[in-house]
């Protein structure tokens, strides 16, 4: 099986060079404009493309794609509340849970360290993500810019 680029430029090149571009003989890999695999979910996109070419119905497809879940107990007695042993009015905050405080924690504790590590390992991607500018924005600026885009 050979890899084929998922864009028309490569397909034209292959045709000009006499390379067989028959879909049934290619494994299609979704790529960005620079020819790199799509940053998120490229494997699932490739599989879905193959399933559609093979005529496999979507209701028969199960990806087993694992998703990360981040959980932080915001209250000292979170577990008691979840077990319905106490009322919501009895919750005791573990730390400042205001939007601004949580945004500051994310920027200083998580995003900054991740960026530093990527720089150190020379793994910084120049591919822009829609949320790259969040690190420089306040919570209010972020809501103003992005909340209208999700229709809420």
User: Greatest CA span in the chain, whole angstroms?
Assistant: 73
DSSP assignment, residue 109? I
What is the Cα–Cα distance from 90 to 77, expressed in whole angstroms? 9
Coil, strand or helix at 4: strand
% the chain with pLDDT above 70: 67
Locate 35 and state its tokens. 């020819």
Average pLDDT (121-148) is: 82
Average pLDDT (91-110) is: 89
Q: What is the pLDDT of residues 13-49, one digit of tens each?
A: 455 555 555 554 555 555 667 776 665 566 677 777 7
Banded model confidence at residue 5, pLDDT cuts 50, 70, 90: very low
What is the Cα–Cα distance from 78 to 141, expressed in whole angstroms? 30
What is the Cα–Cα distance from 24 to 21, expressed in whole angstroms? 9
Q: Would you list the domain boundaries of the chain?
A: 2-60, 96-150
């Amino acid at each position: 099986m050979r890899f084929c680029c998922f864009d028309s430029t490569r397909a034209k090149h292959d045709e000009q060079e006499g390379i067989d571009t028959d879909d049934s003989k290619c494994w299609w890999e979704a790529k960005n404009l620079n020819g790199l695999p799509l940053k998120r979910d490229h494997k699932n996109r490739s599989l879905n493309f193959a399933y559609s070419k093979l005529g496999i119905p979507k209701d028969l497809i199960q990806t087993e794609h694992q998703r990360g879940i981040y959980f932080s107990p915001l209250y000292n007695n979170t577990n008691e509340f979840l077990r319905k042993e106490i009322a919501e009015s009895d919750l005791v905050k573990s730390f400042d849970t205001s939007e601004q405080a949580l945004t500051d924690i994310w920027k200083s504790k998580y995003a900054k360290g991740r960026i530093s590590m990527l720089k150190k390992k020379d793994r910084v991607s120049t591919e822009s993500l829609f949320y790259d500018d969040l690190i420089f924005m306040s919570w209010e600026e972020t809501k103003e810019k992005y909340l209208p885009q999700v229709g809420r």
